[in-house]
Amino acid sequence: MPLRCCRFCGCSFQPSRFRPDQTVCSQADCQNRRRADYHREKIRCDPVYRQVVRDSQKKWRDEHPGYSKDYRASHPEVVERNRKSQVRRDQRDRIQNLAKNNLAFDLKRSLAEVWLVGSEAKALAKNNLASGQLFIFQTDTSSRQTQADS
């Protein structure tokens, strides 16, 4: 039987004679990824399997009611990382909801110079609506006119 290339690690391997259609080598990491991919796909496609998984997870949570609270208390770095990740997800979702949105006034006709500053500004493709603080600096034109009149 000819050698095959693993779809996860790229290494060559000899398929099992019992599984001639084998596409993943026998390394533990590759097999774990294969199982996880299968599980994810099965949950996505099979509503009965999805419900069984949900019921199983609910049963475990009911049998271990304080687990989440204890875990968060003993792993503050995970809590902080999750908090930061949630802020990023919220910002991404807000920005994605603004896609091709034209609710802002026409900045091209304004005499003011507008600068979008901050980490969110780089992700505002095709948008002219941004949340943030607005600072308006207006030049004093009356002092210029008095100087020109004299």
> pLDDT, tens digit, for every residue of 59-97?
999 999 999 999 999 999 999 999 999 999 998 888 777
HSE-CB for 44 with a 13 A CA cutoff: 6
Which uninterrupted H or E stretch holds 5?
A: strand 4-5
Joined together, the tokens standing for residue 55 give 């019921």
Domain boundaries, the chain: 104-150
Residue with tokens 């990023």: 88
Mean pLDDT over 4-10 rounds to: 95
pTM equals: 0.51
Q: What is the pLDDT of residues 10-27, one digit of tens each?
A: 999 999 999 999 999 999
Residue 103's pLDDT is what?
Answer: 53
Tell me the mean pLDDT in the region 117-136.
56
Segment holding 13, helix H or strand E? strand 12-13
Do 126 and 99 touch, CB atoms closer than 8 A?
Answer: yes
Q: Looking at the DSSP assignment, which residues form a beta bridge with residue 139?
A: none
